[in-house]
Structure 1
Amino acid sequence: MDLSNIKMVVTDMDGTLLNSKHEVSDQFFELFYKLNQRGIRFVAASGRQYHSMADKLEVIKDDVIFIAENGALVKRKDEELSSTPLNQEVKSELLAVVDQIDNAHVMLCGKYTSYFDGNSKQFLNQLKEYYSAYQIVEDYQKVTDEIVKIAVYHATSAEDYIYPKVSYLEDKLKVKVSGRNWVDFNHVNAHKGNALQKVMDQYNIKPDQLLVFGDYYNDLEMLQLSDYSFAMANAHPNIKRVANFETTSNDDFGVERVLEKLL
């Protein structure tokens, strides 16, 4: 495996760059500075909101390209590179469907803040890890902010209890099981693959110059863009089938081990 031509590194966050405690390792930051010195660009791509991603990467955020909300928002420094909001009618239809699912909790995700109805304190404690900027509202239908993603949480299994009841919406929305507890809904054109392709075009990056890491379904399209796509050892089995390579788990420095080889 020859990584000598790599000019851009892209990594998912939860389950990939972040360990199980939602931490970025000190080792990664040391490697990042070496990548930066070599002119290798770094892209963080997540289902998280921009502010949550920036908080995790605070010390390097000015040198990071952020693909947030599964690709619905792309930002670098103070520049918004692209935004792909949901259609209002589709948003209303989805909220009505999710309202009928037992134990499902909803977040409306604007570009820079999110909205929660406050009905579950347990869910509120969960979302604080992923959404550092949020507001509690009484009625989702009255939220006038531009919504780029709707995230739905199930404490047991989103893939088993939410996805089967909403999969029929895939002709209208990008529906992604983004983790054990989450299903994310974006505009059909808003996914990490489309967002990353825009970044690649801007910086003239080819598939053999791109190194990508991921672990779950919302990473699928961006993994397919790279000749050097890596699934984590903890990745969903279907992601391992798509990726060209595999590394160790997020708790065993899977990203860092490959970056060491790159450097």
Structure 2
Amino acid sequence: MTYRLIALDVDGTLINDDHELTPRVTRAVRAAAERGAEIVLCTGRGSASALSVLAHLGLSGTIVTHNGASMVDSVTREVLHEAEIGAEAVERYLALCRARGIHFDMNTAFELYTEHLDEETAAMYGRMLTMPILRSQAEGMPARTVKISIFAPKEDLDELETAWKDWQHELQTIRSGDSFIDVQHMDASKGTALAQLAAMRGVPREEVLAIGNYYNDIGMLRFAGWGVAMANSPDGVKEAADEVTVSNNEDGVAVVLEAKVLGEV
């Protein structure tokens, strides 16, 4: 099979646990692009952070960010799609986080805002190649917000999910990592955005390859003609995939591309 569209998650997939793009993964991704495949980063990160990763790869193109809530052209910086969420629907989530002292940020396609910044959260943003903008509660939620990200230890996030499980959900809540929950538009997902991009390119789903590692990747793994989960994925993600490869610390993306695209195995 010739794969014309290759969708790659970033954290836990493309990069290792030290937040590094290894030489083997970098070479394989670039080689796949040179063979004519369009490489699409599909990530929960914001656009500025994803663009930095794409630049490290030496590539350009379309990126799917904020779990599919935005789509951006890396060359023109044009926002091709965004799923805006309303302040009224979001406020109860923010109020609950404030009451429990749990960190959150508010994201537009390109900017990230937070009400507080301590040493731990600053280090987290540094790893994500993101610079937050401080914004007071009185200023309210930024215009064109597409996602709220909540950052806390796993146990605290588990308790949050229990607290809001009986709410009527106008918005979608999704775990994008052990320490992250994202709140966004009900219709936004990596799978929906990838399907939209494939239609724009005239690429049938059979010619789409997707690789990911967490619950927010399930939609794109199921949409793709071939979906691959990393060995470091939760069981539910593995079950949604067509194949499980080795972990992100073992160059799993390179292993898949070498076998499926480059014919090196």
TM over 0.5: yes
Task: Give me the whole-angstrom Cα distance separating, in 2, the residues matched to 1:177 and 1:60.
Answer: 27
1:50-106 alpha-carbon deviations (Å, 9 max, x no partner)? 111111221446523210111111012213211111112112222123223x35211
AA aligned opposite 2:132: Y
Q: Does 1:229 pair with 2:236? A: no
Per the TM alignment, residue 135 of structure 1 is displaced from its structure 2 partner at its CA by: 0.6
Q: Does 1:210 pair with 2:194? A: no
Task: Give me the whole-angstrom Cα distance separating, in 2, the residues matched to 1:199 and 1:220.
Answer: 17
User: Which residue in the other structure is 1:114 paired with?
Assistant: 112
Q: 1:169 to 1:245 in 2, by over 3 A?
A: farther
Q: Contact 1:97/1:166 (CA < 8 Å) preserved in 2?
A: no
User: Which residue in the other structure is 2:95 paired with?
Assistant: 96
1:142 to 135, 140, 143: 140
1:154-195 alpha-carbon deviations (Å, 9 max, x no partner)? 124465233222344573111101101000011111111111
1:183 to 181, 196, 211: 181
Gaps of 5+ in 2: none
Cα RMSD (Å): 1.9
Q: 1:169 to 1:200 in 2, by over 3 A?
A: farther
AA aligned opposite 1:14: D
Task: Give me the whole-angstrom Cα distance separating, in 2, the residues matched to 1:147 and 1:128.
Answer: 21
Task: Give me the whole-angstrom Cα distance separating, in 2, the residues matched to 1:240 and 1:132.
Answer: 29
Q: 1:36 to 1:122 in 2, by over 3 A?
A: closer
User: Which residue in the other structure is 1:29 paired with?
Assistant: 26
User: Helix, strand or coil: the match of 2:219?
Assistant: helix
Q: Does 1:87 pair with 2:90? A: no
1:12-49 alpha-carbon deviations (Å, 9 max, x no partner)? 11001110011112222322332222211111011101
User: Helix, strand or coil: the match of 1:118?
Assistant: coil
Deviates more, 1:76-85 or 1:138-147: 138-147
Identity across the alignment (%): 24
Task: Give me the whole-angstrom Cα distance separating, in 1, the residues matched to 2:211 and 2:233.
Answer: 10
User: Helix, strand or coil: the match of 1:99?
Assistant: helix
Task: Give me the whole-angstrom Cα distance separating, in 1, the residues matched to 2:159 and 2:119.
Answer: 21
AA aligned opposite 2:235: P
The alignment covers a number of residue pairs equal to 259
Deviates more, 1:201-210 or 1:27-36: 27-36
Task: Give me the whole-angstrom Cα distance separating, in 1, the residues matched to 2:168 and 2:205.
Answer: 28
Q: 1:158 to 1:259 in 2, by over 3 A?
A: farther
User: Helix, strand or coil: the match of 1:31?
Assistant: helix
Task: Give me the whole-angstrom Cα distance separating, in 1, the residues matched to 2:140 and 2:85.
Answer: 15
1:123-151 alpha-carbon deviations (Å, 9 max, x no partner)? 23223322513211221652433211000
Task: Give me the whole-angstrom Cα distance separating, in 1, the residues matched to 2:142 and 2:191.
Answer: 28
User: Helix, strand or coil: the match of 1:178?
Assistant: strand
Task: Give me the whole-angstrom Cα distance separating, in 1, the residues matched to 2:200 and 2:125.
Answer: 33
Task: Give me the whole-angstrom Cα distance separating, in 2, the residues matched to 1:158 and 1:73.
Answer: 28
Q: Contact 1:157/1:180 (CA < 8 Å) preserved in 2?
A: no
Q: 1:254 to 1:140 in 2, by over 3 A?
A: farther
Q: Does 1:249 pair with 2:247? A: yes
Superposition TM-score, scaled by structure 1 size: 0.91
User: Helix, strand or coil: the match of 2:223?
Assistant: coil
User: Helix, strand or coil: the match of 1:15?
Assistant: helix
Deviates more, 1:231-240 or 1:88-97: 88-97
Q: 1:42 to 1:163 in 2, by over 3 A?
A: same
